Amino acid sequence: SLDFAAKLAKRLGVKVREDVVHAVDGVNLSVRKGEVVGLVGESGCGKSTLGRMVAGIMPPTDGTVLWHGRDLKALSGAEARQAKLRTQMIFQDPYASLNPRLKVAEIVGEAPAFHGLVGRGGLDDYVDEQLRRAGLDPALKRRYPHQFSGGQRQRIGIARALAVQPDFLVCDEAVAALDVSIQAQILNLFMKLRRELDLTYLFISHDLGVVEHLSDRVVIMYLGRVVEEAPAEEVFARPNHPYTRALLAEVPRIEARKRAFAGVKGEIPSPLNPPPGCHFHPRCPHAFDRCRVERPALREIAPGHRSACHLNDAA
């Protein structure tokens, strides 16, 4: 993460000016009500930073985050609290965000009681309802987080998020730490909740395979920039950007694509010193002179399909 890079640089005695680190650079992302947007890229591409900004946890140094069309920064105290409650974040490691000294009932019931979403008298039933929704047996609510498996702990995290009645969930690598079979269960749970509660999702993952069946729209990020954005079917049927095509080659189930592309070669460069021009050029098999000096604009190449690659200019 950017934090980690900054700390490492400090430890090594390297001076880093904050203003030269652009974890997210010129990104314009919109998520419409009821939509599931998959945000994909390798670790270090800025997708988590973007997710935190969207969730209102981290303010952007430049630019704005609009919530129902209004600037988050300009909201009054009560409105800002409302926006914060309505947008909940689900993290990769629920254990790190669950207080180990609290029982599950307290973890799930704390915020709705504090915010007055439910009276003390009804809290017990309310907690049971959230646990059931998240697929957990309410009989287990007197237990502590360490008494649960990874998948169950993620369900506790989801129950806690649901308890404040959100309409927007930002899921940051929410299934990355789980076994594949448990991943599928949690992904199904997200989809069930979408139908039941009319939820909107920003689903952040390094794995295109994870977002494939979940997303209405997919946004691909590389080193702080959006390189491609399209309806999900379009991204998988007609990927345009060389980076997207290389990422798709790594989705193991898609044999034909695997033959056509060799995957993403090399490491993602440091966001402290991104390559000029198209950030992807050192790893791109199609790079030419212009790519090394000029940033490609994100252009519409088909209705709702945008890509940032100079190759599209020649087409």
**Which residues in this chain contact ligand SF4 in the complex, by CB under 6 A?**
241-242, 278, 280-281, 284, 286-287, 291, 296, 309-311
| Nearest to ligand SF4 of 71, 294 (CB atom) | 294
Shortest reach from residue 271's CB to ligand SF4, in Å? 17
Shortest reach from residue 222's CB to ligand SF4, in Å? 9
Q: Are 51 and 204 in contact (CB under 8 A)?
A: yes
| Nearest to ligand SF4 of 40, 156 (CB atom) | 40
Shortest reach from residue 315's CB to ligand SF4, in Å? 11
| Nearest to ligand SF4 of 113, 284 (CB atom) | 284
Shortest reach from residue 67's CB to ligand SF4, in Å? 33
Measure the CA angle with vertex 291, ends 227 and 255; round to 5°: 50
The enclosing H or E element of 233 equals helix 232-237
Shortest reach from residue 242's CB to ligand SF4, in Å? 4
| Nearest to ligand SF4 of 95, 261 (CB atom) | 261
Q: What is the DSSP letter of 175?
A: T
Shortest reach from residue 189's CB to ligand SF4, in Å? 36
Shortest reach from residue 219's CB to ligand SF4, in Å? 16
Mutual orientation of helices 104-114 and 150-162 as an angle, nearest 10°?
A: 20
- Number of residues written out for the chain: 315
Rounded CA-CA distance 35/190 in Å is 13
Measure the CA angle with vertex 92, ends 150 and 167; round to 5°: 105
Q: What is the DSSP letter of 240?
A: -
| Nearest to ligand SF4 of 135, 242 (CB atom) | 242
| Nearest to ligand SF4 of 156, 309 (CB atom) | 309
DSSP calls for 74-99 = G--HHHHHHHHHHEEEE-S-HHHHS-
| Nearest to ligand SF4 of 127, 308 (CB atom) | 308
Q: Are 35 and 41 in contact (CB under 8 A)?
A: no
Mutual orientation of helices 150-162 and 123-133 as an angle, nearest 10°?
A: 130
